[in-house]
Chains A and B, each alone.
Chain A
């Protein structure tokens, strides 16, 4: 398990995919996958999208949990400003 912390720089949502990019330093971005293909309805994803939208709008710090070598999101935490 690994954690990546940063601010949301891009939220790219469509019927077939959901990607989020976070800025982990002024020059470093990391891309994560909310869903790709048919797993959109999977439980927590529906909750993560509004959380990430809020974080994007308010420049809040997010902590994304994922496997060390996987871009699939396992959990999202939003920190208060």
Chain B
């Protein structure tokens, strides 16, 4: 079974991790511009606590900050290496979740919409059990 992968967030070369979140903000702002607060908690092997990044889509624009979101609609918790694989379009976020490499909390339906539709590399049908 193949799962929905994201658009490449890393072109043209592997950038700073912040660039991937700026790309997420850019895509989501362009896609529908609906207000949304995302938090990415990136787990680094050497750090005890995950590093938070927030992506806020508002009517005024999109903002990325290296801090926790005040009231995230969706939070993704994953290791830095897993996030890079997702951002490079090599690993589906759903596959990462199902193989124990990613957690999601917040509004699950919004998470599905954002990560399996809005940021998807190509339109795809979700598995029956996920609908």
Asked if residues B108 and A69 are in contact (CB atoms below 8 Å), the reply is no
Chain A residues near B78 (CB, 8 Å)? 69
Per-residue contact bits, chain A 37-79, to B (CB 8 Å; 1 contact, 0 not): 0000000000000000000000000000011111110000000
Asked if residues A31 and B106 are in contact (CB atoms below 8 Å), the reply is no
Per-residue contact bits, chain B 90-131, to A (CB 8 Å; 1 contact, 0 not): 000000011011111111100000000000000000000100
Give the residue name and chain of the B residue nearest to A66 (CB): B103
Asked if residues B129 and A14 are in contact (CB atoms below 8 Å), the reply is yes
Asked whether A69 and B82 contact (CB < 8 A) given A14-B129, A29-B108, A30-B104, the answer is: yes
Asked if residues B106 and A69 are in contact (CB atoms below 8 Å), the reply is no
| A25 smallest CB distance to B (angstroms) | 10
Chain B residues near A17 (CB, 8 Å)? 129
Asked whether A28 and B103 contact (CB < 8 A) given A14-B129, A69-B43, the answer is: no
Give the residue name and chain of the A residue nearest to B49 (CB): A68
Any A CB within 8 A of the CB of B89: no
Besides A21-B108, A33-B98, A69-B78, 14 more A-B contacts (Cβ < 8 Å) are A4-B105, A14-B129, A27-B106, A30-B105, A31-B104, A31-B108, A33-B97, A67-B100, A68-B43, A68-B50, A69-B82, A70-B100, A70-B102, A71-B97
24 contacts between A and B (CB under 8 A): A4-B105, A16-B129, A24-B105, A27-B107, A29-B107, A29-B108, A30-B103, A33-B98, A33-B100, A68-B50, A68-B103, A69-B77, A69-B78, A69-B79, A69-B82, A69-B101, A69-B102, A69-B103, A70-B101, A70-B102, A70-B103, A71-B100, A71-B103, A72-B100
